[in-house]
Amino acid sequence: MLTRREFIKLCIAGIAAMSLSDLIIPELARAFQTPGGRPMVIWLEAMTCAGDFMSFLNALRPDLQELLFKTIDLRYSNTLMTGEGRVAITELESIAGRRRGEYILIVEGTVPTMDGGTYGLIGHHPDGRPFTHLEAVRLLGGGARHLISAGTCASFGGPYAANPNPSGSKPVSAVLERRLVRERLVNVPGCPIHPDWLVGTLSHLLLYGIPDMDEHRRPRLFYGSLIHDRCPRRQHFDDGEFAAQPGDKECLYTIGCKGPVTFADCPVRKWNSGHMNWPVGANTPCIGCVSPGFPDRTSPFFAHLPDIHIPGVKRTADKIGTAVGVAAAAGIGAHAVASAITGRLSKNLMEGTEGKPAAISGAARAAVPQKPPGGAGGAGDASADAPGSSPGPGPGHAPGRVPRGIRGILRRLLARVRIKRGETRR
């Protein structure tokens, strides 16, 4: 089995040429060839568009069977399960009653609290009473061995909790006991979630315990660096070359890109099973969908924020692109180049994720629990993700660079994992 250090290296590398799932799933399968068997998973959809589940299905290469039928034991999923109505609800209640402490709860979607939670139901109890999302999250959350908020809605509220939040929607962390949140909850945001982020987090939980998290309870493995710092268009930013409209090849900052305030590894990981592309690669601005402030504090999507805070730049966005702004931006550039030369980024990323015991309590102490904002907006700070206060790594990294040491791990893994490259990479 991979050591934790090797595992973390693999996650951070975000090698665009292959899927993290391809490498990790066989490791997981091996880990669960034990008498305990496959871990039981409940995928609970609260108020959601099901986009996270759809995205999760995209992870499953080379084979859906591998994850769904051999690695985890998916007991409840509104989108996929054959059982319906009373049959489905009875199954859910029986797991909640008899399998406490055994199952992993993955919640997708926000939790409506208006009118006692009756704005959102997962169905009805066999006796006819409405079964609200609120009730389901609390019931199942209490007995879960691991708790994952999958996607931005469950993590921070997301679009349905946006102003004026007609359903009174809250993130999962806001409706569970504080103790539970502190000890067990991991937020894995994204609109939708990237399958690697979920599979990687789930694997870490199962193999090594709670991963190291930032103040928003996001694993640093995937949310440890700013998009801006690993963006392939960073040079355009540093040179003051900005896009005038979607479709242009320059830096998209002035037409709304939230990369400078968004912590995610999209530039190196990229999206969908072939690790195809990402929003900036499609010549459109990053809309900051992993941020606690999405969408209220990351919109308008196509207009740059008036007082966005970029580390190292003490100027308002209006000045970026003018001669003064370019000079300031060039300052970041010089810093970035220096960091890249010393290879500081990968070192910082590793430091940001290691040295914490895998035990729940230790990891929980290490992460500062903080009540995420309700997502209803109203905060005066225009930055989406409060980068200034984040203990994240410094800027500077040549995009696509594979940190040293990874190659050896990869070679070892690749010898074991059959990757049908010809099938998905052209």
Partner 1 sequence: MGERVTISPVTRLNGFWRIDVQIENGVVRDAWSSGIFFRGFELILEGREPRDAIYLTERICGICSSAHGMASSRALEDACGVEAPRNGVLMRSLIFAADMLQNHIRHFYLLAVPDFVEGPDMPPFLPRYNVDFRLSKNATERIMANYLESLKLTREFLEMQANLGGKAPHTHGILAGGAPVAPDADKIRYSLSVVDRARRFIMEKYIPDVYAIGEAYPDYYKIGRGHGNFLAYDQFPQAQPDGGPVHKGGVMIDGRVEGLDLETITEHVKFSWFSPEDGPRKPGVGSTHPDVRKVEAYSWVKAPRYNGRAVETGPLAAQWIARGYRRGISVMDRHVARALMTKEVAELMREWLLSLEPGKPVFESYDIPAEAEGVGTVDAFRGGLGHWVRIEGQRIARYQIVTPSAWNCSPRDDSGQRGAVEEALAGTPVENPRAPVEVGRVIRSFDPCLACAAHVIRDDGSSEDIRVS
Residue 418 burial (C-beta neighbours within 10 Å; 0-12, 13-18, 19+): exposed
Q: Half-sphere exposure (CA, 13 Å, Cβ side) for 391?
A: 16
Residue type, 314: K
| Least distance in angstroms from the C-beta of 265 to partner 1 | 14
Read off the DSSP letter of residue 403.
P
Task: Calculate the dihedral angle through the C-alpha atoms of 150, 156, 158, 163, rounding to the nearest 10 degrees.
Answer: 160
Would you say 7 or 160 has its CB closer to partner 1? 160
In the complex, minimum distance from the CB of residue 400 to partner 1, in angstroms, rounded to a whole number: 18
Q: Which is nearer to partner 1, 293 or 403 (CB)?
A: 293
Binding mask 212-251 for partner 1 (x = CB under 8 A): --------------------------------xxxx----
Residue pair 44/122 in contact (Cβ under 8 Å)? The answer is yes
Among residues 49 and 330, whose Cβ is nearest to partner 1? 49
Write the interaction track for partner 1 spanning residues 29-48; mark x where CB under 8 A is met and - where it is not.
Answer: ----------------x-xx
Question: 118 or 235: whose CB is closer to partner 1?
Answer: 118
Site for partner 1 in 138-167 (CB under 8 A): 158-160, 162-167
Residue of 1, 17, 54, 414 that binds partner 1 (CB under 8 A): 54
**Residue 111's beta-bridge partner residues?**
170
Site for partner 1 in 352-391 (CB under 8 A): none
For the segment 170-209, give every residue that binds partner 1 (CB under 8 A).
Answer: 191-192
Report which secondary-structure segment, H or E, holds 45. Answer: strand 40-45
The window from 69-77, 317-325, 354-362, 391-399 that contacts partner 1 (CB under 8 A) reads 69-77
91 lines the binding site for partner 1 (CB under 8 A): yes
- Contact residue for partner 1 among 123, 142, 209, 369 (CB under 8 A): 123
Q: How far is CA 320 from the centre of its chain?
A: 29
- Report the alpha-carbon distance of residue 418 to residue 23 in Å, rounded: 9
Element (DSSP H or E) covering residue 249: none
Integer Rg of the chain from CA? 21
> Which residues ranging from 248 to 307 are in contact with partner 1 (CB under 8 A)?
271-274, 276-284, 287, 289, 295, 299-303
Give the Å distances, CA to CA, from 138 to 97, 105, 117, 175.
13, 11, 12, 7
What is the b/e burial string over 192-208, where b = at least 16 CB atoms within 10 angstroms of the residue's CB? bbbbbbbbbbbbbbbbb
Our CB check for partner 1 shows the closer of 200 and 211 to be 200
State yes or no: residue 87 binds partner 1 (CB under 8 A): yes
Of residues 24, 28, 60, 202, which one binds partner 1 by CB under 8 A? 60
| Residue span binding partner 1 (CB under 8 A) among the ranges 50-58, 204-212, 305-313, 334-342 | 50-58
Out of 77, 113, 225, 262, point to the residue binding partner 1 (CB under 8 A). Answer: 77
Binds partner 1 by CB under 8 A, chosen from 100, 124, 178, 416: 124
Is there binding between residue 53 and partner 1 (CB under 8 A)?
yes
CB of 219 to partner 1, least distance (A): 20
On whether the CB atoms of residues 375 and 156 are closer than 8 A, the answer is: yes
> How many CB atoms are closer than 10 A to CB 156?
30
Question: What is the smallest separation between the CB atom of 370 and partner 1, expressed in angstroms?
Answer: 25
CA distance to 111, 178, 199, 211, per residue, from 4 (Å): 34, 28, 15, 10
| Pairing verdict, β 40-45 and 104-108 | parallel
Contact 320, 254 (CB under 8 A): yes
> Least distance from C-beta 153 to partner 1, angstroms?
9
> What's the closest the beta carbon of residue 16 comes to partner 1, in angstroms?
12
